[in-house]
A and B are shown apart, each in its own frame.
Chain A
Amino acid sequence: MPIIKTTNLNFSFRQDQKILDNINLEVPEGSIYGFLGPNGAGKTTTLRLLLGLLRNQQGKLELFGKDFGTHRIELLRRLGSLIEQPSLYLHLTAKENLEIYRLIYRVSKERVNQVLSLVGLENTGKKKTKQFSLGMKQRLSIAIALLHQPELLILDEPTNGLDPNGIIETRELLKKLNKEHGTTVIVSSHILNEVERMATHVGIIHKGRMLFQGPLTELQQMKTRQTAIEIETSDNQRALALLQQKFKASVNEHRIIVPFESKEQSAELNRMLVNQDIDVYSLHPRQNDLEQLFIDITSNN
């Protein structure tokens, strides 16, 4: 049973502008689901709908196999969330912020200390949250989301604004929770690289439409198929003619592009060029960033 399932979810703020267009999101139990898309793609809108912060207009929305609209409180009890910027009372300390949610979720006082040390904020004492760095605020927000040991975490760009160290720490924390406690995580991001490093499943959304959804391995296979080798030489004209005898080479600006097959193929390409006295300045797989991936997927569709 998927932990999150949406069926034909549609949403628009204005009648003529669809923000979400038939979104069928499916987050399997125990997965880390990377919800990927550029800014303005509809990630936050989807997550806000999942949490009931926006009223559902059209389509079905189920969490833990139950309809969200009719089981709101019961379902909210089972999940923790962090949407966009931290929601912290800046005039209070880390402990006081947690105390508010401790009362509402009815968890023990020990749990407050546990989550504080889990996110490395156990020594902040009487320091007010407004004196915290952005990374500390983000960590405290994660502590709030984790306080009641939820089965599902809904996180919207949790590493936004964090330094590289903070990004790694957050990633490791999510992986640990997933592995040790079986927590299902849905985490949105606009950075492909980041999602690849922790997700087991990926959904890609662009202009309100799901372009891809499936296990990470499937995405990686697709990416490999899309990957190309870029070569820069002293004589691109001759090099192109030479490589076209054996490969589907083409020229793009100042580089020759050859579809990627294997590592051995790269070595062969190099050998062929060098043997013909063509100097190779660079030879590397083309960086497959999110933008390129979108272009590839959309052109595939």
Chain B
Amino acid sequence: MSIVIATKAEMIKTRRSASFWISLIGSAFIPLIFFLTYVIQPAKNAMRLTNAPWEMHYMQGYQAFSAFLLPMFVILICSLIPQLEYKNNAWKQVFTTPQSIGTIFFSKYLSIIMMIVFLFVMFNIFMVLAGVIPSLIHPDLPFLSKSFDWAGLLKLNIKSFISLLAMISIQYWLSLRFRNFIVPIAIGLCLLITSLILLQWEHVSKVPYAYPSLSFFQLSTGTMPKSDSFLMNHELNSIGYFVLFTVVAFLDMRFRKERG
């Protein structure tokens, strides 16, 4: 499949790139802070975490991560990966390779999504390590003695990821539109901050940049409606926006008069 090969080629471009380092450092940042608090104040934390250490550890970690840092990293990754082409004058070479515009568009899109998945995976690994390693140093910490809710963690990750889809599609489109990568980053951050202000608004489920916070709040406070559906309204909206803006961005690239 040409899209698989093209995505592989796209992933070579992200080797040692700024987006790779941002994903790695960004995913380690919050776990590192937790790690340090556990190591520096083991007794206090052991008491606080006695009952459900992993749940508390994760909920607090995600709270700090999902509202602002995670969307910000996503904005950065979505801008920096297309920026590799602009910065290196490489769009013209990409568009003269024997690939359909669809392959070019979706392979880059997939490489961005995979970088975000990498960010998620690394965040989870670092969070586990931030619990396990301090427990090896200070056996009082309860992480090793309590079970770990894998299903809950998986749910948290999947819902967070889905809540990001709307943002990803909008940011990808903006990054393809603007040569200067500061523009999509600035627009993204403005929309993100506006969304955080609007969190209490009754129509917040229509504001794409608020979705990561909504997913987390509804999971952590248990305000999730007691229905059988796995996805909540705003998460369905996120998928809807994702489809819409993906189509818009693709058509924009397909029918552009001047490429590269």
Contact = CB atoms under 8 A, between A and B. Distances in A.
B16 interface: yes
A76 B259 CA distance: 15
Interface stretch (A78-86, A162-170, A249-257): A78-86
Interface in A82-111: 83-92, 96, 99-101, 103-106
A52 interface: yes
A53 B8 contact: no
Interface string A13-53: 00000000000000000000000000000000000100111
Interface residues of A, number: 31
A181 interface: no
Interface of B: 5-6, 8-9, 12-13, 15-17, 84, 87-100, 257-260
B69 to A, nearest CB: 25
A47 B235 CA distance: 47
27 contacts: A51-B92, A52-B95, A52-B259, A53-B258, A54-B258, A55-B257, A73-B98, A76-B97, A77-B98, A79-B96, A81-B96, A83-B92, A83-B96, A86-B89, A87-B88, A87-B94, A88-B90, A89-B13, A89-B84, A89-B88, A91-B15, A92-B13, A103-B8, A104-B97, A104-B99, A106-B5, A144-B93
A74 interface: yes
B8 A88 contact: no
A104 B5 contact: yes
A89 B93 CA distance: 11
A81 B203 CA distance: 52
A103 B9 contact: yes
Contacts of B91: 87
Contacts of B95: 51-53
B9 A84 contact: no
Nearest to B90: A87
Most buried by A among B100, B257, B258, B260: B260
A147 B259 CA distance: 23
B179 to A, nearest CB: 15
Given A55-B258, A92-B15, A104 B88 contact: no
A92 B17 CA distance: 9
Given A76-B97, A87-B88, A100 B9 contact: yes
